């Protein structure tokens, strides 16, 4: 029995993000914010670029979030809490 692992057998957590390239994702951020958009790129720090992006800002006094639309946005990785695929 071989104990040698090939490169294809090894998986990293960021490999799951790689499968979402050019797909729509939900990114939950610190500060009661969420971003939805098409994932264009990312790095090992979870910095990412989203196109067709929408930012949802939640406030205590408001029932509905404030929504800002942007054609392209850079999201800094240290503010990312969660990344999830969504169907659009």
Average pLDDT, the chain: 89
What is the pLDDT averaged over residues 63-73? Answer: 95
pTM of the predicted structure, to 2 decimals: 0.82
For residue 73, give both structure tokens.
Answer: 């946005």
Task: Determine the pLDDT at residue 1.
Answer: 46
Contact 70, 85 (CB under 8 A): no
Which domains can be identified in the chain, with CATH numbers? 11-85 (2.30.30.100)
Query: What's the pLDDT tens digit per position in 49-59?
Result: 999 999 999 99
Q: Where are the alpha helices (DSSP H) in 1-88?
A: 13-18
- Model confidence at 2: pLDDT above 50: no
């Amino acid at each position: 029995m071989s104990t040698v692992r090939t490169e294809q057998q090894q998986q990293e957590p960021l490999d799951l993000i790689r499968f979402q390239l050019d797909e729509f994702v939900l990114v939950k951020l610190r500060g009661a914010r969420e971003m939805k958009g098409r994932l264009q790129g990312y790095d090992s720090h979870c910095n990412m670029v989203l196109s067709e992006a929408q930012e949802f800002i939640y406030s205590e006094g408001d029932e509905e979030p404030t929504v800002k639309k942007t054609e392209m946005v850079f999201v800094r990785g240290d503010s990312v809490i969660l990344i999830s695929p969504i169907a659009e």
